[in-house]
Structure 1
Amino acid sequence: MELDIILQKLSAVRAATPLVHNITNFVVMNNTANALLAIGASPVMAHGQEEIKEVLSISQALVVNIGTLNRSWANAMITAAAYANEINCPWLLDPVGAGISAFRNSVLAELLSLHPAVIRGNASEIIALHNASDSSTKGVDSTTTSDNAFEAGRALQQMYGSVVCISGAKDYIIGKRGWTEVDNGSPLMTRVTGLGCSASAIVGAFLGLRQDHYQEAVAGISLFSLAGELAAAKASGPGSLQLKLYDTLYALSEEDIKTHLNIQEHAF
């Protein structure tokens, strides 16, 4: 994808300030809201069944993150995803901790049956989502590489029609006709909890443009990884990285993107 398209989409998000409805986990709510505000979007966190449809009806995208799951929230997520499909609101599934419990896997099966526009997870989560019997997960951290999850990601794309994003040392965004490889980011990002969840929310902001899910996913993942890399270069550790990441997302410029973004496109 041409860098000019990514620049256009960033400009469009900043101009439109899309409202992103997040049903997300307790650990990352504040981080997620701040990341969305920094990129130029507007966050809302509404989890109660009593208001989900009303909130979703005025939102431009939905992000479903199963990190701190219980039955009440699971029901809310399923209701929201089904309603999003009904009103043609694009939604993203972040399968945090996929594979760690039968309950979590059963909820994910229900959500996958509703065909999210985008699935974004780390390598272990993507493999677990594809029911690979030889995959092991360690909480929400990835125990394998994004390269190893590529075939599982492609299979998920073919099964559900979703754009599949795999986060890792290299990020992969897999669509129907090809994939994009993003070689940005920093190892320091793994020392801050919830940055993968923030990446999902940023993709949600771009999905709010409602134009091309694949291009929007590429823009969201690549710009978040780039911001992490640029922020890490100025940070002295995980704490300052988190603060500098918000500033970097807010200030991302055409020069930053054209100078430092490292992406490659491939066709199937």
Structure 2
Amino acid sequence: MKTDQILAAVQTQKPLVHCITNYVAMNIAANVVLAAGASPAMVHAEAEVADFVPISGALTINIGTLSPGWVSAMHKAADAANASGKPWVLDPVAHFATPYRDEVVRDLIARGPTIIRGNASEIMALLGAATAGKGVDSGDSVADAEGAATALAKAHDCVVVVTGEQDFVTDGNRAARVSGGSDIMPMITAMGCSLTALMGAFAAVSPPFEASVAALAMFAEAGTRAARTASGPGSFQVAFLDALSQIKPEDLASDANVQWL
């Protein structure tokens, strides 16, 4: 499927996206999914996730604010996604910061995510590489992480997405880079987390590699448009959601900001 066809499918089918994400990201992630034309559900209770995943189009798991109950819910949700054939996206937020976070991510990766999305430092650290990352912030360039992303994709038979100054997507064989967006985006908390949720919406209607590229293209286009009118991070967030809601499939038809490798 082409990028414009995937967005058309999202806006027509309005897939339900089961988002297990962090406290900071819940509002913006839900609004981003809604603005793109899909339907978010912020369900994380251990007692219900296994029942909710099968009725969803996709699952996204973000480890930003961990607690034992949430970790158990993440495990059950990932297992339910695998059992019901639903794609799921893993966001390994700052997994290298503490041994606990790293252990949680290793357990989740062992469950076979469809897509792993992170910044350059997070992706590099998943392969044990030294990084300049600090907390949730990347200290490495996307270019530095491309080799690690490719190796990770091959090792776990999944799609790996590295986001930053120019996004990189690979399934271990194919690859693409997506440009666009705005320098203001890193100044707004949970933008990357909301992109993970959006990626779930696209994965619900198309194959994971193409879904990842399409989600990145839409996100970047919205960022580019928002930057034209925003005067700072506050106005940018509002302008970004407005821009996201106004993007039509034909706006992505040329793949102008996608470089297929």
2:107 is matched with 110
Higher RCO (Cα < 8 Å, 6 or more apart): 2
1:90 is matched with 87
1:68 is matched with 65
Q: What is the SS of the residue equivalent to 1:97?
A: coil
Q: What is the SS of the residue equivalent to 2:118?
A: strand
Distance (Å, rounded) in 1 between the aligned partners of 2:11 and 2:248 = 12
2:221 is matched with 226
Instruction: Quote the offset at 1:194 in angstroms.
Output: 0.6
Name stretches of at least 5 consecutive residues in structure 1 with no aligned partner. Answer: none
Instruction: Quote the offset at 1:103 in angstroms.
Output: 0.3
**1:159-179 C-alpha deviation (Å, 9 max, x unpaired):** 101100000100001113210
Instruction: Quote the offset at 1:10 in angstroms.
Output: 0.6
Q: Does the 8 Å CA contact 1:117/1:213 hold for their aligned counterparts?
A: yes
- The partner residue of 2:30 within 18, 33, 52 is 33
Name stretches of at least 5 consecutive residues in structure 2 with no aligned partner. Answer: none
Aligned residues: 261
Question: Counterpart amino acid of 1:173?
Answer: V
Question: Counterpart amino acid of 2:54?
Answer: S
CA RMSD of aligned residues (A): 1.3
- The partner residue of 1:18 within 6, 15, 37 is 15
1:44 is matched with 41
Q: Does the 8 Å CA contact 1:226/1:261 hold for their aligned counterparts?
A: no
2:135 is matched with 139
- 1:1-268 counterparts in 2 under 5 A? 5-132=2-129, 134-209=130-205, 211-254=206-249, 256-258=251-253, 261-266=256-261
Q: What is the SS of the residue equivalent to 1:206?
A: helix
Instruction: Quote the offset at 1:115 in angstroms.
Output: 1.1
Q: What is the SS of the residue equivalent to 2:134?
A: coil
Distance (Å, rounded) in 1 between the aligned partners of 2:3 and 2:142 = 23
**1:123-174 C-alpha deviation (Å, 9 max, x unpaired):** 1111111211x21321111111100111111111011011000001000011
TM-score by structure 2 length? 0.97
Question: Counterpart amino acid of 2:70?
Answer: W
Distance (Å, rounded) in 2 between the aligned partners of 1:11 and 1:22 = 21
